[in-house]
Structure 1
Amino acid sequence: MTSKPVLGIMALYWNDQKQLEEIRYFKQLSVLGRELGLSVIVFTPEDVDHSRMQIRSLIYDVRQGLWIRKWTPFPDVIFDRCRYQPNKRFEMLRKFRAKYPHLTYLNRPLANKWIIHELFSDDSVLSGYLPDTKYYSDFSVLSRMLQKHKTVYFKPINGTGGRGILKIRGLGSKYVVQGRNHRRTIIRKQVLTKPSLNLLMNRLLTARKYVVQQGIQIELKDGRVHDFRILIQKNSKGDWEYTGGACRIGPVQSITSNLHGGGRAIRMDSMLLRRFPKETAEKIKDSVEALSLQAVHVLEKKYGQLCELALDIAIDRHGKVYLLEINPKPAREVFRRIGDKEAYRRALLRPLEYALHVYQSKHANQTADKKDNAS
């Protein structure tokens, strides 16, 4: 293998044809890594031969423009891009990390939305940004939340992309419901009785756990919902830096703004200035940046080092900022969509630069230890 440090991108296949959801992103990392002096391999826990301590890796051949398979040793540093799946593949990931805790990882697994909510609730700074959220144990939880808030969201504690989320509003003895199922298909607005809503929720609850969250008024004048995606990453020195932010606007009749669900993106500044005076917009941006830094501080203290984090932010009509949820395996497509080439390039480069920093720091420490032992 090349003498260059090797970055292993660890992912999960998303179907039986062994396809990878982020293959385009992995190609970009491979090309940029080569420019920085990093060799990049892509693998899943299924590709590991534990007896031989070898990996049947995917490697992008820049000259040929092709992905090739090749047996490789374990990488020097691992960038975990494994997103939650309710299946055996995710169990294989857990077993891999348990079997090889001594390997160098850029990021650590985080707990589910409910546990993270409880962790943030105990922090004096972050607690002020959290929407009211309760763990769903039975229908009485929903009833109490609707008495307190006009609208609530019924959200799975695991998963991404807006899957399995319902928006529920009380209407006398009935309920106005809309959302998305676990395949991201839009559930159009409908009025349901309590038994009908119970049936719908129970279908979503199969093998999943949920929270009920306070609804925040994020509809624009045309009825579409919007929120803000914030990306914060470690740089080449291992320090956290604000990479950028963008506004996501959901499609018609969607309760979520996710790009995968058909949403579109515009620049964060444009939306803030459309909604607020310039001075208020600047204060909101400062508040969001401070919130981001505090969130990663609390998470690293609990779970160990991370390399990047995305935060989904809502801002109500009064300018109050809410932290809706976090994503430790964020996409960066939103910056390409808004035409922010600088933020997009930063978002691509920073995990690679941080990987080099981690490798070089580890190598320097090992060299220092050898000198100390020799003396």
Structure 2
Amino acid sequence: MHAWPASEVPALPGKGRDLQIHDTATQGTITLAPGPVARIYVCGITPYDATHIGHAATYNAFDLVQRVWLDTKRQVIYVQNVTDVDDPLLERALRDNQDWTELAERETALFREDMTALRMLPPQHYIGAVEAIPGIVPLVERLRDAGAAYELDGDVYFSVESDPNFGKVSNLDAEAMRLLSAERGGDPDRVGKKNPLDPMLWMAARPGEPSWDGGSLGRGRPGWHIECVAIALDHLGMTFDIQGGGSDLAFPHHEMGASHAQVLTGEFPMAKAYVHAGMVALHGEKMSKSKGNLVFVSALRRAGVDPAAIRLALLSHHYRADWEWTDEVLAEAVARLERWRAAVSRPDGIAADALVEEVREALANDLDAPAALAAVDRWVERQLVSDGDDESAPGLVSRTVDALLGVAL
């Protein structure tokens, strides 16, 4: 599966700072100092209704991670999946009387268009669940043969008790896990499971649903968590730098995936940092497909909204914060974009070397994009009322905003 085209990232003078970021597992801020190659895995979409502002906010956060690392002169290996077969996708296709593969392909294509418009840097490896199945089956067989998985009416489940480190990603108690499992795709009440929290690794073929050859597992399709594990281990290996996604993925998805990988490899942890973006609300409720309270990036673009303004609206909130999308949020972003463009359109201006370092410092501090925006705002305010004589300043500011914030002025 191909990703989307990459926008050029301007080179800035000097060198960026190592990233300090909040780790869900430790509930603290850690400093990530990868070697010459930084590795990140971000969970992708289930392509049945893409791309809403909540998606965009999540991928914006991890785009900033890439930009901070690139500014430190590191290479970045970024991996993202597409869950192009799963119950929600099949249910939507059935509801709308569509072929599920056509639905997945159409929504994935729209997602690519939105990411391109928003100048999100693409993953080097963009992998669909279906194309990953040949690599998933051997992992499930290994878990089963090692006694870490068991069969139940043809389905194969992972035993969470096989991982002594289970629970160290989300740090939730058993009851909280059980409630979230039921809410987020698990089946804790299924009779016959060894532990209510045990997640499915391989679903035996169901009548009328797609299935694939699973070798000794029989025909079926993979569970959600093992999909990402197979892709991550194949392209990044263990103990990569960041496992990322929305905060609703901490449990069960990232918790279960970590346990799968740790049992398979005997290594701990799967990722050095588990990083989660906050949720975006609309009219007081979390934006979600199930509720239908969505604002789509593509709809905003069709309405004539500049993608750079959409991106500034996302950047105006800290990535870990839960916040609400409103007309006022977008209007403020549009006005900010106009001010910034007016400021850098002048032939010369006030020195901007200090601004570059302010933006770097803000982003290195747990991706504090609002602080970075405030720093640019201060320069813009001075630039619009002052008679500077630095001919290089407007261009430097423009390149800084592009390179570190992904906003083209």
Say yes or no: TM over 0.5. Answer: no
Give the number of the structure with larger relative contact order, counting CA–CA contacts within 8 Å between residues 6 or more apart.
2
> What's the TM-score, normalizing by structure 1?
0.28
Higher helix residue share: 2
Higher strand residue share: 1
> What's the TM-score, normalizing by structure 2?
0.27
